[in-house]
Amino acid sequence: MNAPDPKRRRLLQAGLAAALAPLAGCKVPFTAEQGLFNSCLPANPALLDDPIVKAAWEGVRTDRVWDSHAHLFGNGRTKTGIWVSPEFDEPKMPGARLRRMMFANGGCAGTDEARMDLVMIERLKSLMAQMPPGVKVMLLAFDFTYDESGKQRRDLTTFSISNIYAERVAKSDPSRFEWIASVHPYRDDAAEALAQAKANGARAVKWLPPSMGIDLSHAKTRAFYDELRKNRMPLLVHLGEEQAVPGAERHEYANPLHIRHALDRGVRVIAAHCASLGTSPDLDVDRNARKAPEVTNFSLFQRLMADKRYEGFLFGDISAVTQANRADVLPTILATREWHSRLLNGTDYPLPGIMPLFSVSGFVKAGLLDESKVATIRSLRDVNALLFDFVLKRNLRYDGAAFPASVFETRPFFEADHGRA
């Protein structure tokens, strides 16, 4: 996507704070340190050969590097399995229009609406071609909202990526892609859809409970946990506040404590973003949500991680924890060395390409990044958002601790139970 002219740029800047608040969370403002728009540059061999980039791969077994959290998106014009609500696709409010534009720009999906679905994938493939052989990205499907009666509710859905679509894109290049299914547990055919996804090569199931309207303690959800376990499929679940995809807007479903229902049934769970945003009532103090003290979702995730019963079952992904609005949890995640074997890397692509969401100099100020790395890491963003995310995370330090290579070598996690039904 071409960046807009200066006058338009100023107008856009005015609307930016409002637009990005729901995208990034509103506690920490966006940053304009690298401008507003990604220039979406082609591969740059000199940059890929930069000693800082090369050093980031040292000690990493690239054939095990699977990015566990990457989004497919588009506008659905190709009618091949992407559905976008009219409100989101043709927004009336300038803020919402800008948000859509920033998202498309972060993934370098272009401005040709007729080709956006395709260009998004072409760009992703070109980014993957710049990665060492063996590195793969796991593409996420995203189901519609369903209500408790099992009815599909497009009126409560922001967008949907069908399992068939995610599978088809993944299989268009098996050397670079894996895929993760999304099956709403309230669906009448939930068990069949899960078995089908497994048979078609899905490595896990993804949920975004507040947006999809999934009560993690509902009887139908509990029945689905048993299916997950039977199929030996891990659950990648967004815990904590969600603002980018409003959908059903059931914020009470974001409470990390509810995921005990899955853990207690022996499901392996990946908490997306280590539940790093927002607050929830501490239901361990008072089961009445209105009386319970409000605590951070991250502190509830910490409590679950400290529970010995959940070792081997609860994991956290570090996607988006480097975003400006979540970076306050980074020192804790880095310094808690006993977590490191339970962390999985994901990028939350295309978010690393959305310029105002990340502040590279912010990491230097916080003492997490050496100044000498800034220029290279910054220049990676327009060239390859996936590589930017990787090199940045490999260079973060806190209290002598860094993310070990194993955090990026997620393949064994996804293959552990595969095929042993």
Contacts with Zn ion by CB under 5 A lie at 348
| Least spacing, CB of residue 234 vs Zn ion, in Å | 16
First CA to last CA distance, the chain: 45
| Least spacing, CB of residue 274 vs Zn ion, in Å | 13
| Least spacing, CB of residue 353 vs Zn ion, in Å | 13
* Structure tokens, 101: 């534009």
Nearer to Zn ion, 282 or 348 (CB): 348
Nearer to Zn ion, 348 or 409 (CB): 348
What residue is closest to Zn ion based on CB? 348
- 3-class DSSP state of 309: helix
Cα–Cα dist 194/170, whole Å: 17
Q: How do strand 136-140 and strand 66-71 relate by DSSP bridges? A: parallel
Q: Tell me the one-letter amino acid at 248.
A: A
Cα–Cα dist 202/335, whole Å: 33
Cα–Cα dist 79/362, whole Å: 41
Q: Tell me the one-letter amino acid at 136.
A: K
Nearer to Zn ion, 52 or 344 (CB): 344
* Structure tokens, 113: 């609406």
Nearer to Zn ion, 103 or 225 (CB): 103
* Structure tokens, 396: 């973060």
Residue length, the chain? Answer: 421
Cα–Cα dist 335/401, whole Å: 6
| Least spacing, CB of residue 147 vs Zn ion, in Å | 23
Cα–Cα dist 266/260, whole Å: 10
Cα–Cα dist 273/138, whole Å: 16
Cα–Cα dist 143/373, whole Å: 39
Which residues, other chains included, contact 290 with Cβ-Cβ below 8 Å and sequence gap of 6+? 281
| Least spacing, CB of residue 210 vs Zn ion, in Å | 13
CB 306: neighbour CB atoms within 10 A?
A: 12
Residue 415 C-alpha from the chain's centroid: 20
Over its C-alpha atoms, the chain yields an Rg (Å, rounded) of 20
H or E stretch covering 379: helix 374-383
In the 3-class helix/strand/coil scheme, how is 133-194 assigned residue by residue?
Answer: CCCEEEEECECCCECCCCCECHHHCCEEECHHHHHHHHHCCCCCEEEEECCCCCCCCHHHHH
Nearer to Zn ion, 67 or 348 (CB): 348
